[in-house]
Amino acid sequence: MKRVLLFIFFLISVFGFSQSKIRVADESNDVPISGARVLCNGKILGHTDRQGYLEFKSKCKNIRIEAENYQKETVTAEENMNVSLLRTDSKTTSIEMVVLEDKSDPRALEILKKVNQLFRENSPKTLHSYSYKSYEKISLDIDEDSISQFAQFFEDKTLFKKKREKDSLNNISARKIFSRSKLFLWERAQEFLYSKKYGEKITILDNRISGLKQPIYEMIAMQQSNRDKLPNQLKQENRGLYRFFLTDTIEMDGRKNFVIRFREVNYRKQDKKRKYNGTIYIDTETYGIKKIENFSKVKNDGIIASTWIFYNNKWFLSNETVKLRMSRMAMEEEPKENAENEDYRKDKKSFGTYAFLTSKYFDFRSPVEENRNDFKGYTFSVKNADGKTLDRYRTDPLTERERNTYTTIDSLGKIYNIDNKARVLTGLINGQIRTGVVDFAVDEIVNFNSYEGFRVGLKAKLNETFNPYFSPDYYFAYGFKDDQWKYGIGLDIKTSLDKNSFFRVDYYDDVLASGEFYRRLWNFKMKMANYGNNINNDRYYHIRGASVSYLNDVTNGLTLVFAARRNFEEALFDYQFRERGAAFDNFNTLFTLKYSPNSTNIMTPQGKSLIDQKYPELYFNYEQSYKILGGDFNYTRFDALFVHNFKTRIGTTGFRLYGGMVFGDAPIWKNFTMNGLASPSKDFNFNLTSFLGFATLEGGKYYNNKFIAYYFTHKLPFYFKSFGKNVSSFDFVLRGTIGDMKHPEYHQFRYRKLDHLYQEVGLEWSNFLSTYFNLGLFYRVGYYTTPNFKQNFAIQFKLKLLEF
């Protein structure tokens, strides 16, 4: 019996092996390395021949390569592999003791310090003006060394020949696509224009994405990783994630460069602490970045490389190359017809699929003629997006596989209706779900607050497919706790298709939370961050009325809105204002301003889309009520929000300063609640984060007619890995507010004014336990502290995607 089990184990182990071929070469000159050892779990599988090749069978997922006078490497096992080894010279050997001590070379750190200090000076944006073009190509494909074997495998197998007879485009597989084309291809050409006086203008000269007839504008406006940015490996706050070592000085393009090698700190095994993840080349004269290469820990899994060119005494990004492993695709041979004893042995082969990116920048000019008209509109503009002019900008012609990709994937796009699916996904960026001519608002589907309980609703808007200038919309909602329906109807009338400029008329019958800070012109992310603001505020009022408004984007960073409104407003809680009851008529005007000079926007057929939100930002609202057209009030109300963040050597600091004031007589809902998130009825304070909320302050308890508040956060420049691949850090948070109520006796209901400084301090753990959530712990300090620890303490959760 023991012999039988050993024989079965032997058969299983044999059947688990697959044939692989590896080539080992010197990294510096690509000369083959003979006699290199290939190992699986410490067992030698063989040695490379004079040409650096070895064929072997192994069931190992990862194999190790060793050669005399070379550093060891570990790679993922594949059908075909090319591995380059770095020679162990005297300079590298001399620093191994430093590496074993797990400390960076002080000389390397001093050089990187100067790189950080002089990065702004070396940036092209210190010039008065410049222009250049770029051509980028992104694809998903098999590794180039496996293409011929894959095609042969596909053509020779009886299984696939039989399957092709039944195949149609409706059931085509990735295997069939890869046999003659890539799975995905995207090309883009851009022109970058910069002026110190007018800012930056980026024109998309042309664009084409396989499988899509209509371009995804938010996608084609994506920025490059290292253009005008300090690479992540060189940032001061990331120093704790890497170890750096000065190893050499070499000449590149006629200029002398420091060679700094680096590695990640999370190698667990002692012998792997000599392995490097990449190399940085720093110009010795200007301390500008010449080149950076970043390898994955498993060398065959990917590489990211960026190269800069010295032009007009500044360092411009010249090209970028990215190769990242996405997945492994296993292939099985069909069993032979004459296999003895029906013993079907399948020889499994696998091919690695990779994402490839190549970006080339060219036609550098500085200075250039500065014409104000060239900078009009938003940061991004689209000249062409159908791919017809890409031949003018391609630095290399398309290969046969790339040309086939457009034919194959475009055909699939029509059958699987990829265009509509892509529009649905991109609509979510702006909080919409697109289905044909209708856009549905994501934030109206389900909500929760103390007055309505769960509120479900549907908001539909006819988009530009219906009509580019006229866009009607309608919404309805139902609250399960108050058992009431709400609805609204409106119409947008555009005056231009070049920017956001439109009139709007609408009618509404709904409920709103008392004392709300106006959120007009907030983007979808900010609104989602403020989602839980009214979970513990049950002071709502009924509003029924109509409004007329006009919105205009004066510049890329300045938006103005003017509205006139006639409303009926009634408190939905036990309340009277100056013994005049709880229901009033209100005619008012509202002026809103948003100023965001550094944010990146693009105009699409759907309207303006925010590509990159940058600070500072200013939001301002001015409301004036009139005793005309039946209005009962004559008050003035304004509020403002200023948001900014900035980086220093000691970390990233962000802050929000906001406040408001009401002049004249106004009901309580036109004053300000103080954005409390805590519940007085619960023993434990747990809430979702809020853009303006306080974790330990009771909701709906405090009201002021004037207030000022602040929200400070500081991210410490120390990053660490707890579990998984996500990097964690800690933020210190300080929130505070103070205000007053001039005539508290005017409002007959139970509340308190907040006229002393209210503060809470907190610590927020980003990527908590390598999840995509931040965990915050907060404690109330100062005047409003109570003896009860539970009242002073709160825990908050925040989705990391909401960021600052």
Q: CB-based contacts of 621: which residues, under 8 Å, 6+ apart?
A: 518, 520, 590, 591, 592, 593, 637, 638, 639, 640
Among 659, 681, 653, which Cα is nearest to 672's? 659
pLDDT of residue 382: 87
Last residue of a domain, one of 416, 443, 474: 416
Compute how many other C-beta atoms are within 10 angstroms of the C-beta atom of residue 30.
11
325 and 372 within one domain: yes
pLDDT of residue 584: 96
644 and 561 within one domain: yes
For the chain, the distance separating the N- and C-terminal CA atoms, rounded to the nearest angstrom, is: 66
Count of structural domains within the chain? 4
pLDDT of residue 31: 87
Last residue of a domain, one of 88, 123, 144: 88
Compute how many other C-beta atoms are within 10 angstroms of the C-beta atom of residue 153.
18
Separation between Cα atoms, residue 217 and residue 463, nearest integer Å: 16
110 and 37 within one domain: no
Among 803, 794, 535, 574, which Cα is nearest to 675's? 535
369 and 468 within one domain: no
Pairing between strand 184-195 and 199-209? antiparallel
Amino acid in the structure at residue 607: G
pLDDT of residue 64: 86
Tokens at 165, concatenated: 């007879």
540 and 408 within one domain: no
The reply to whether 143 falls in a domain is yes
Residues in the chain: 804
Compute how many other C-beta atoms are within 10 angstroms of the C-beta atom of residue 707.
27
The reply to whether 424 falls in a domain is no
108 and 57 within one domain: no
SS3 of 97, please?
A: helix
SS3 of 619, please?
A: strand
The reply to whether 283 falls in a domain is no
Give the domain CATH number at 573.
2.40.160
DSSP states of 532-553: GGGTT---EEEEEEEEEEEEEE
Pairing between strand 793-799 and 685-688? parallel
pLDDT of residue 295: 80
pLDDT of residue 804: 63
The reply to whether 248 falls in a domain is no
Burial class of residue 13 in the structure, from the number of CB atoms within 10 Å of its CB (0-12 exposed, 13-18 middle, 19+ buried): exposed
pLDDT of residue 93: 45
Burial 215-248 (b: 16+ CB within 10 A, else e): bbbbbbbeebebeeebbebbbbbbbbbbbbbbbe
pLDDT of residue 436: 80
Averaged pLDDT, groups of 10, the chain, 804 residues long: 39 48 80 90 89 85 85 76 72 45 83 93 95 92 56 46 41 60 88 93 90 73 75 82 88 93 68 65 96 77 88 95 72 48 46 82 95 89 88 90 84 68 68 86 90 95 92 96 96 93 97 92 87 86 97 94 97 94 96 94 83 92 95 95 87 92 95 89 82 91 96 84 71 95 92 95 86 89 92 87 69
pLDDT of residue 458: 96
pLDDT of residue 166: 41
678 and 620 within one domain: yes
117 and 71 within one domain: no
Pairing between strand 793-799 and 43-47? unpaired
Q: Are the C-beta atoms of residues 211 and 410 closer than 8 Å to each other?
A: yes
Burial class of residue 354 in the structure, from the number of CB atoms within 10 Å of its CB (0-12 exposed, 13-18 middle, 19+ buried): buried
Q: What are phi and psi of 637, to 5 degrees?
A: -135, 135
Peptide bond into 367 cis (omega under 30): yes
Beta strands in 172-288 (DSSP E): 184-195, 199-209, 242-252, 255-264, 278-283
pLDDT of residue 723: 63
Last residue of a domain, one of 416, 441, 471: 416
SS3 of 60, please?
A: coil
The reply to whether 44 falls in a domain is yes
61 and 177 within one domain: no
189 and 123 within one domain: yes
Separation between Cα atoms, residue 739 and residue 690, nearest integer Å: 20
- Segment holding 420, helix H or strand E: helix 418-427
The reply to whether 782 falls in a domain is yes
> Residue 186 sits in which domain range?
91-241+313-330+345-416
Q: Are the C-beta atoms of residues 424 and 442 closer than 8 Å to each other?
A: no
Separation between Cα atoms, residue 238 and residue 230, nearest integer Å: 12
Separation between Cα atoms, residue 105 and residue 113, nearest integer Å: 12
768 and 701 within one domain: yes
Among 743, 771, 606, which Cα is nearest to 662's? 743
Biggest CA pair distance of the chain? 102
pLDDT of residue 610: 86
470 and 589 within one domain: no
The reply to whether 481 falls in a domain is yes
